[in-house]
Chain A
């Protein structure tokens, strides 16, 4: 730098002016950040009502966001601000739960590490009176050591929907075994239409159903890996066979959870959740049939993954009691909202037996068939199955399905990770 800086000296007034603007800048940057989605405490019509932040992931069906806002606004005892989260909700939620700036109330999927790291509070007190009105599987998936940590909001069975007309034309019966499914997919494939869409990753989403349809499970009752048998290896191998049959749609602009592929006639069958039924009916009318994920062979049963979303109360919330009260109000007391949430946008099974029984939209057609399949073959997540185990399982599937790796060797690799996690969690 040359030594003769022009105007290197600074008058007092200048100095004050400059430092003043620096201070303003600092104040501005301090004001940014800390957007929790919670209403700011100053002002508003709430008076002394507590403020609660409620987080949702972005539902695909139109009208859902407005509905969530409507419920929040209708709650009389707190100011509830809804944060609707497009994109990677799991990651956003995980970092939100690290601090007290996260949500008070949120939807998610239960696993043991949420309890181990003290992220959620037990809800037994508000669930006590209505426990019997929930399906045992939906309670079990949110229960750890006898305590219930979440309230199921919706049940989302995942099955295979197909276009009846295309199967009829080809003279094929709805597949009953995995081998049937593979040969049906092959026969239905033409140069314009692929047999089946199971996701752009080649079918990882069917890993769980394939495992359960072989008689296996993620973890056994006494928390040991349950995906290690020969039959599980055989089932994973079948997924590779399907992928390699060149009858699977890949690289679609939307993924498996969106019915666009089957609606646009890109495929004859699609693995997807019941939420897409209204969208498919709009595009295809009555030309839809449903099958569960087919059984591996005569020894086994088909499998339907009964997923969904669950409501939790954050342990880091400043208003745990108010948050619990709100959750009780919305997901236990206000049955008309629960019904609206399950049936007015996409189709989901209401978790409350009493509501499910009178859900008119689920009494007929393909929706009714799906509900029946879920009752017969549904399975829910094991809360001891952590995200890390899930990632190891996904890696197993990717290697087997796409790369054609030896299932037994991949199972051994995943087993190592899962055992490491089990040791960490249970000693």
Chain B
């Protein structure tokens, strides 16, 4: 809505400049290319060596029986894929992920948006509030998990959560060891919320600040009531691009969950997201790189499909966003 307007207004200037500089561009193109490679080259090399090569290699490995070796010789065709797709542990790890995503994605979305709206409204010490909420993003997942595990949610009477419950006469709860009811989800979800809310809040704040104040003025003139009505019909639609980005990033991050699960509950079959399971079979003491690679590629394909599907539904990156 607002974007096409800026585009047309900028167009004449750009095309005018383009015409004037066409000659000079020819001459400098060699330099530009060089600079392009100087800046981009190291990252491309890094990407090739540390991302694409391993991906290709794991594709190769996934067709071999590869125990304790990265250079296997026994070709097994699609057997590893069949094994993984019929492995109830792998399937249940996908289930674990789904439960996790059901909790974490909407919660993060709503809370980050609420925080952004609040912080955006604050008139004094805005930078302070923004930093305070953003700060946990700088903390490592491992460190946060250990704090959650050892001091806040440990199962004995001197854990923080149990101390607080103790004031109300409630018995100690073994947060991370109880499967019925599944209390372990509380530490798992809260630690991620604490760590990532600030980041998504910043994204939303950026989105909020891009909304033109004239829209709010127009809405006011048209008689929209401040509060829910303005939020529902002005703010939320204007935040569409940001919202979609937050949803996609969030979902991918949830798929990649590893650190807090590994550090809080370890490799247990009732709360084992796909990455922890794959780590266990391929990089832990089992060292079954064939099945591990097949599983990793299956997971990659799932993430890709879900992202594409989301794209279709929400239309991320469409013109006008």
**Chain A interfacial positions (CB closer than 8 Å to B):** 2-5, 8-10, 15, 18, 22, 25, 88, 90-91, 94-95, 97-98, 113-114, 116-117, 119, 192, 200-202, 249-253, 266, 386-388, 391, 395, 398-399, 402-404, 413
Q: Given known contacts A202-B177, A387-B284, is B34 in contact with A249 (CB within 8 Å)?
A: no
Q: Given known contacts A5-B28, A250-B178, A252-B154, is B284 in contact with A91 (CB within 8 Å)?
A: yes
Q: Are A391 and B280 in contact (CB under 8 A)?
A: yes
Q: Are B280 and A8 in contact (CB under 8 A)?
A: no
* Residues of A with C-beta under 8 A to B89: 395
Q: Given known contacts A113-B68, A398-B270, A399-B269, is B284 in contact with A3 (CB within 8 Å)?
A: no
Closest chain-B Cβ to A157's Cβ sits at a distance in Å of 22
**Chain B interfacial positions (CB closer than 8 Å to A):** 17-18, 21-22, 24-25, 28, 31-32, 34-35, 38, 41-42, 67-70, 88-89, 149-150, 153-157, 159, 172-180, 266, 268-270, 280-281, 283-288
* Residues of A with C-beta under 8 A to B42: 22, 25
| 29 residue pairs A–B, Cβ–Cβ below 8 Å | A3-B17, A5-B35, A8-B28, A9-B31, A10-B35, A22-B42, A90-B284, A94-B285, A95-B283, A98-B69, A98-B70, A250-B155, A250-B178, A251-B156, A251-B159, A251-B174, A251-B175, A253-B149, A253-B156, A387-B286, A388-B288, A391-B280, A391-B281, A391-B286, A395-B269, A398-B269, A402-B177, A402-B180, A413-B88
* Residues of B with C-beta under 8 A to A192: 157
Closest chain-B Cβ to A352's Cβ sits at a distance in Å of 28
* Residues of A with C-beta under 8 A to B285: 90-91, 94, 387
B18 (CB) vs chain A CBs: closest residue:
A3
Bound: A98/B68 CA distance, A: 6
* Residues of A with C-beta under 8 A to B32: 5, 8
* Residues of B with C-beta under 8 A to A117: 67-69
Q: Within the complex, which residue of B18, B21, B68, B155 is in contact with A200, where a contact is CB–CB below 8 Å?
A: B155
Bound: A114/B69 CA distance, A: 11
* Residues of B with C-beta under 8 A to A402: 177, 179-180, 270
Bound: A226/B179 CA distance, A: 29
Q: Are A3 and B25 in contact (CB under 8 A)?
A: yes
* Residues of A with C-beta under 8 A to B88: 413
B34 (CB) vs chain A CBs: closest residue:
A10
Q: Are B287 and A94 in contact (CB under 8 A)?
A: yes
Q: Are A94 and B68 in contact (CB under 8 A)?
A: yes
* Residues of B with C-beta under 8 A to A18: 38
Closest chain-B Cβ to A261's Cβ sits at a distance in Å of 8
Q: Within the complex, which residue of B21, B153, B177, B270 is in contact with A3, where a contact is CB–CB below 8 Å?
A: B21
* Residues of A with C-beta under 8 A to B156: 249, 251-253, 266
| New A-B contacts (5) at CB < 8 Å, excluding given A119-B68, A253-B149, A253-B150 | A249-B156, A252-B154, A388-B288, A398-B269, A403-B270
Query: By CB atoms of chain B within 10 A, which of A114, A202, A404 has the most?
Result: A202
Bound: A241/B38 CA distance, A: 66
Q: Are B67 and A113 in contact (CB under 8 A)?
A: yes
* Residues of B with C-beta under 8 A to A249: 155-156
Bound: A90/B173 CA distance, A: 31
Query: By CB atoms of chain B within 10 A, which of A25, A202, A395 has the most?
Result: A395
Q: Given known contacts A94-B283, A98-B69, A403-B179, is B155 in contact with A251 (CB within 8 Å)?
A: yes
A264 (CB) vs chain B CBs: closest residue:
B156
B72 (CB) vs chain A CBs: closest residue:
A117
Q: Given known contacts A249-B155, A266-B156, is B24 in contact with A3 (CB within 8 Å)?
A: yes
Bound: A10/B27 CA distance, A: 12
Bound: A250/B269 CA distance, A: 17
Bound: A350/B196 CA distance, A: 51
Closest chain-A Cβ to B238's Cβ sits at a distance in Å of 28
A7 (CB) vs chain B CBs: closest residue:
B31
B183 (CB) vs chain A CBs: closest residue:
A251
Q: Are A8 and B180 in contact (CB under 8 A)?
A: no
Bound: A94/B283 CA distance, A: 7
Q: Within the complex, which residue of A88, A98, A251, A399 is in contact with B284, where a contact is CB–CB below 8 Å?
A: A88
Closest chain-A Cβ to B166's Cβ sits at a distance in Å of 10
Q: Are B67 and A251 in contact (CB under 8 A)?
A: no
* Residues of A with C-beta under 8 A to B178: 250
Q: Are B174 and A250 in contact (CB under 8 A)?
A: yes
B38 (CB) vs chain A CBs: closest residue:
A18
Query: By CB atoms of chain B within 10 A, which of A3, A200, A252 has the most?
Result: A3
Bound: A2/B287 CA distance, A: 51
Bound: A253/B34 CA distance, A: 56
B36 (CB) vs chain A CBs: closest residue:
A1
* Residues of B with C-beta under 8 A to A250: 155, 174, 177-178
* Residues of B with C-beta under 8 A to A90: 284-285
Bound: A96/B69 CA distance, A: 11
Q: Are B24 and A200 in contact (CB under 8 A)?
A: no
* Residues of B with C-beta under 8 A to A413: 88
Closest chain-B Cβ to A200's Cβ sits at a distance in Å of 5
Bound: A10/B35 CA distance, A: 9
* Residues of B with C-beta under 8 A to A395: 89, 269
Bound: A393/B312 CA distance, A: 43
Bound: A404/B179 CA distance, A: 10
Q: Are A9 and B28 in contact (CB under 8 A)?
A: yes
* Residues of A with C-beta under 8 A to B67: 113, 116-117
Bound: A22/B34 CA distance, A: 13
B157 (CB) vs chain A CBs: closest residue:
A192
A388 (CB) vs chain B CBs: closest residue:
B286
Q: Within the complex, which residue of A3, A386, A403 is in contact with B180, where a contact is CB–CB below 8 Å?
A: A403
Bound: A252/B18 CA distance, A: 68
* Residues of B with C-beta under 8 A to A251: 153-156, 159, 172-177
Bound: A113/B266 CA distance, A: 24
Bound: A72/B84 CA distance, A: 44
Bound: A403/B172 CA distance, A: 20
A111 (CB) vs chain B CBs: closest residue:
B285
Bound: A207/B157 CA distance, A: 28
* Residues of A with C-beta under 8 A to B34: 10, 15
Closest chain-A Cβ to B36's Cβ sits at a distance in Å of 9
Closest chain-A Cβ to B279's Cβ sits at a distance in Å of 8
A1 (CB) vs chain B CBs: closest residue:
B32
Q: Given known contacts A10-B34, A251-B159, is B177 in contact with A201 (CB within 8 Å)?
A: yes
* Residues of B with C-beta under 8 A to A10: 31, 34-35
Bound: A78/B139 CA distance, A: 43
Bound: A250/B157 CA distance, A: 11
Bound: A2/B25 CA distance, A: 10
Q: Given known contacts A90-B284, A251-B154, is B266 in contact with A201 (CB within 8 Å)?
A: yes
Closest chain-A Cβ to B258's Cβ sits at a distance in Å of 13
